[in-house]
Structure formats: structure tokens, C-alpha cells
């Protein structure tokens, strides 16, 4: 039995408390143990398919000189970058919530969940938010050990003919989060993408900047804490164009925030556009006369943010709506290409990254033994809080989790033994609504 889970995004807590609870993972592992027994699985493999550790959504980078951040134009000194990234990973592993979680994941699972047929094998593939774990063996070793996985070598793709699976994180098809080529060599995965800078300097940087505004510093401590908690939820708003709606919603709910938010956006956008790495990235990706290339797309979103003023929100929200259709569906398009040229024993291409659990039929083909086969692209979604825009323009929040389970031909799904003649799968997604979205801030 093969289990694939991705996008857990364990964090150090400096940019918000968003970590998955140990209780949720205990329930997940218990469900897997029951499924393994029901399927008469002889072995269980758990594949952690990237973005398990989030080394970008942190305020710790703001204490590091710009030249030593991953996006230093001339390249941060490797020893300094490894040291800074190691501190962040240590903070993630040492977070009070995460300590208990990694004691669970890195421990003897078969002893804690005796329905497993034996000790589950764990495999770790870094994604884009934990890209630095692929760059430095010292980080890979710590990350893998925390998950109970082998730490012998970094890998970027997983193949298992028994389950008909090829799996990769999926950022390879996202031009904003993968800067490498189509050779998918190790060096392709350590090149710094613009998404790293967006996540830290913009997404984590905006709440950081707002909380340091003189007007905010004058608020009572309890109000500051509540405001910081709400602002740091910007990380859970997707996609990027929805950020503008989210900011407008905050100002609508708390009018006294208006000037502070506008000032902070001006500062953060100007800082981002002034970074040497960003200017160089624009130069390399702005392909004239290509209309609306990736550089144009980011500049369009930043233009909207830079012009953020409550007094002219009507037109800007209309522009933000137009931005929804800018990006194609790169993962599904790439899945069609990859599966069409895949080996005859590959039934399923599995990715994470998009945070949208899905199953897309791609192709009806022929297996290696001549039997008909159905090829499917699957996405494993994410774990954590999501803020979903309501029909009236507000936001409603809930927690979600998702994962996929694959069974070999000689394993069965259900109470009666069935030999299907091909590897099968099932996907699971759950949603939990247990609290209101925005606790009151006071004044």
C-alpha cells in the first residue's frame, strides 16, 4: 500500500500559527493502519511529496542581510545560507506543536499503530517551500530524520511500477516556483524562483510591515495580537489575486486600518520591486513581444496592490477579477504531456503543490501486458486552514486535509478479496469547520 501526502507546511510560527496538529496526524495514521489491514497489505510506504517544511513563510529571513537571503542577486554565500536555513529548520522542528508531531512521525509507527503489517517505509521529496533541504545535505538529513525517512540522497521524483505511480511535487510546471529546465537535473531544483521572494518579501512581509507601523504600536497589546493573528492569515488566501479582496475585507471590517494598510502596501511593493533579484528576474522573463508573459503577470498584480486605495476599490476589484483568468492550468497540461509519453506500466501521475485535491482522467491506453489502461492525473491537495471568498465578498474559513492511497494488484479495497488486474487508488479529503473566521479586534 502506497500513501501519498503533500503540502503540510510545518512552520516556525513567526509568521503565524498555522501548524497541523498532532491529533490530526494521529487520526490520519490510524486510518492508514486500518486501511492496510483491510487491504491485506504486506507493506506500507508513506511518501511525503514536498512542501512538508516551510522555510519561506517565516519572519526570520528579515533578520538576515539581504545579500545572505536565498535571492541575493549574486547568490548568497553557501555557508551563510546553509546556516540561516538551518536555524529556520531547527525552529520548525523545535516549535512546541511540532515537537510532539515529529516525535510521532519519526518514531516507530508500527508500535503506536499495531494494525500496520510492519514498520511503514517513509520517503521524503522536497518541494519548492522546502527547496533548501534539497540544496544542503545537512538540512535534508534533519528533515528526513524528523519524518522517519531515509536521508541517503535527495530525490525529486518517485516511481513504483507495482502501484503504477510516478510522483513529483508538481512545482516543476509552475513558472513562478521553478526556475530550472526540463532536464529535471539536481541543479535545476536549487535555482531560486521568484515565488520564494513573493512568499517571504510580499506575503510574510506585509503583516510584518503593518505590525511595525507607529499607529499599530500604540494599540493595546491584546488588540495588536489579535490584529497580527488576522493579518498573518493572508498566507492562507489563494490564489494571489484574492489577496486584494482579502485586504479590502479587512479594511471594511476595521476602517481604522485603512491608512496603515495602504502605507504598508506602498512600502512592501516598492521594496520588492527594488530588489536586485526581482529586477533581474523581470529582465530575464519579460519577453517582448510576448503578451502577458510571467513578468507581466506579476507586474499586473503588483500594480493592483500598489494602487490599493479604499476610495477607488470598485475599479481595482474589477481588475483583480480579470486577473483570475491569467494563468493556465499548467499541472494538468503537463500531466497530459508526461503521461502520453510514459512507460506502459505508468497509470497515475501524482503531484501536490496546487493545494487543490483533484483527479483528472487523461488517457485511455494500453498496459505492458496488452490490457486496456486508464491514465489519471491526481493532486494530493494540502493540509491546513483555507479562507474561501463568500458570495457577498467576505471570507469563510475551515480546515482541510487530503491524501491519496494506492493499492497493488494483489491488494484489495473493501471487505472481499478482489484481484483487479491493475493498480487501484482511492483519495480522501476532509473539511472541518469549528470556529468563526475573524475574531473581533477591538480598537
Q: For position 236, what pLDDT does the model report?
A: 81
35-71: burial string, b at 16+ Cβ within 10 Å, e else? bbeebebebbbbbbbbbbbbbbbbbbbbebebeebbb
Q: Please tell me whether the overall predicted TM-score, pTM, comes out greater than 0.85 for this model.
A: yes
Q: For position 443, what pLDDT does the model report?
A: 44
pLDDT in tens, 145-154: 999 999 878 8
pLDDT in tens, 263-296: 888 899 899 999 999 999 998 887 665 555 677 7
HSE-CB of 364 using CA atoms within 13 angstroms: 1
Any alpha helices (H) in 39-178, and if so which ranges? 78-94, 96-105, 109-112, 131-135, 137-147
Q: For position 311, what pLDDT does the model report?
A: 47
Task: Name the grid cell of 170.
Answer: 508538481
pLDDT cut 90: percent of the chain above it:
59
CA dist 77 and 86 (Å) reads 14
| Cβ atoms of 66 and 107 closer than 8 Å | no
Q: For position 92, what pLDDT does the model report?
A: 99
Which whole number is the average pLDDT over 97-126?
98
Q: For position 329, what pLDDT does the model report?
A: 62
Residue 374 has pLDDT above 50, yes or no: yes
CA dist 43 and 110 (Å) reads 11
pLDDT in tens, 191-225: 999 999 999 999 899 999 999 999 999 989 988 88
Task: Give 165: exposed, middle or buried? Use CB within 10 Å, 0-12, 13-18, 19+.
Answer: buried
- From its phi and psi, is residue 111 left (phi > 0), alpha (psi between -120 and 50) or beta? alpha
Beta carbons within 10 angstroms of residue 406's beta carbon: 26
pLDDT in tens, 123-150: 999 999 999 999 999 999 999 999 999 9
240 falls in which pLDDT band (50, 70, 90)? low
The SS3 of residue 188 is helix
Name which residue leads in pLDDT, 257 or 364: 364
CA angle 152–156–161, rounded 5-degree value: 90
| Concatenated DSSP letters of 32-70 | HHHHHHHTT-S--EEEEES-SB-SSS-SGGGGS-GGGST
Element (H, E) at 307: none
CA dist 12 and 55 (Å) reads 8
Which whole number is the average pLDDT over 177-201?
93
Task: Name the grid cell of 363.
Answer: 488517457
308 falls in which pLDDT band (50, 70, 90)? low
Task: Report the DSSP pairing between strands 395-407 and 424-432.
Answer: antiparallel
Residue 261 has pLDDT above 90, yes or no: no
Which whole number is the average pLDDT over 340-346?
88
Place of cell 513578468: 295
Q: For position 442, what pLDDT does the model report?
A: 46
Residue 324 has pLDDT above 80, yes or no: no
Amino acid at each position: 500500500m502506497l500513501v501519498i501526502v503533500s503540502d503540510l507546511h510545518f512552520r516556525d510560527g513567526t509568521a503565524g500559527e498555522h501548524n497541523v496538529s498532532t491529533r490530526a496526524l494521529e487520526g490520519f495514521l490510524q486510518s492508514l493502519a486500518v486501511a492496510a489491514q483491510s487491504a491485506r497489505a504486506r507493506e506500507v510506504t508513506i511518501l511525503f511529496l514536498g512542501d512538508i517544511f516551510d522555510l519561506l513563510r517565516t519572519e526570520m529571513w528579515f533578520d538576515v542581510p539581504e545579500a545572505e537571503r536565498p535571492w541575493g542577486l549574486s547568490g548568497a554565500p553557501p555557508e551563510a545560507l546553509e546556516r540561516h536555513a538551518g536555524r529556520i529548520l531547527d525552529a520548525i522542528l523545535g516549535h512546541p506543536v511540532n515537537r510532539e508531531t515529529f516525535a510521532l512521525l519519526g518514531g516507530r509507527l508500527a508500535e503506536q499503530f499495531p494494525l500496520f503489517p510492519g514498520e511503514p517505509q517513509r520517503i521524503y521529496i522536497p518541494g519548492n517551500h522546502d527547496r533548501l533541504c534539497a540544496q544542503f545535505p545537512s538540512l535534508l538529513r534533519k528533515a528526513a530524520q524528523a519524518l522517519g525517512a531515509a536521508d541517503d540522497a535527495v530525490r525529486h521524483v518517485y516511481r513504483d511500477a507495482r502501484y503504477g505511480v510516478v510522483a513529483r511535487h508538481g512545482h516543476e510546471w509552475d513558472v513562478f516556483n521553478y526556475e530550472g529546465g526540463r532536464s529535471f537535473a539536481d541543479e535545476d531544483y536549487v535555482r531560486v524562483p521568484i515565488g520564494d521572494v513573493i512568499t517571504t518579501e510580499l506575503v510574510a512581509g506585509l503583516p510584518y510591515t503593518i505590525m511595525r507601523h507607529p499607529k499599530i504600536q500604540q494599540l493595546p497589546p491584546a488588540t495588536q495580537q489579535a490584529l497580527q493573528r488576522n493579518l498573518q492569515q493572508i498566507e492562507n488566501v489563494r490564489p494571489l489575486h484574492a489577496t486584494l479582496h482579502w485586504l479590502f475585507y479587512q479594511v471594511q471590517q476595521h476602517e481604522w486600518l485603512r491608512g496603515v494598510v495602504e502605507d504598508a502596501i506602498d512600502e512592501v511593493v516598492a521594496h520588492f520591486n527594488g530588489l536586485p533579484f526581482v529586477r533581474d528576474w523581470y529582465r530575464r522573463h519579460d519577453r517582448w513581444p510576448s503578451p502577458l508573459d510571467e513578468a507581466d503577470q506579476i507586474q499586473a498584480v503588483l500594480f493592483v496592490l500598489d494602487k490599493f486605495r479604499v476610495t477607488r476599490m470598485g475599479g481595482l476589484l474589477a481588475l483583480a477579477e480579470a486577473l483570475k483568468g491569467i494563468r493556465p492550468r499548467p499541472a494538468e497540461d503537463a500531466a497530459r504531456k508526461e503521461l502520453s509519453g510514459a512507460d506502459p506500466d505508468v497509470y497515475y501521475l501524482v503531484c501536490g503543490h496546487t493545494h487543490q485535491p483533484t483527479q483528472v482522467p487523461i488517457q485511455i491506453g494500453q498496459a505492458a501486458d496488452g490490457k486496456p489502461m486508464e491514465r489519471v492525473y491526481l493532486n494530493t491537495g494540502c493540509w491546513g486552514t483555507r479562507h474561501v471568498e463568500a458570495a457577498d465578498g467576505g471570507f469563510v474559513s475551515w480546515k482541510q486535509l487530503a491524501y491519496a492511497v494506492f493499492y497493488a494488484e494483489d491488494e484489495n479495497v473493501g471487505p472481499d478479496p478482489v484481484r483487479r488486474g491493475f493498480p487501484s487508488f482511492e483519495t480522501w479529503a476532509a473539511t472541518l469547520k469549528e470556529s468563526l473566521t475573524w475574531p473581533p479586534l477591538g480598537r
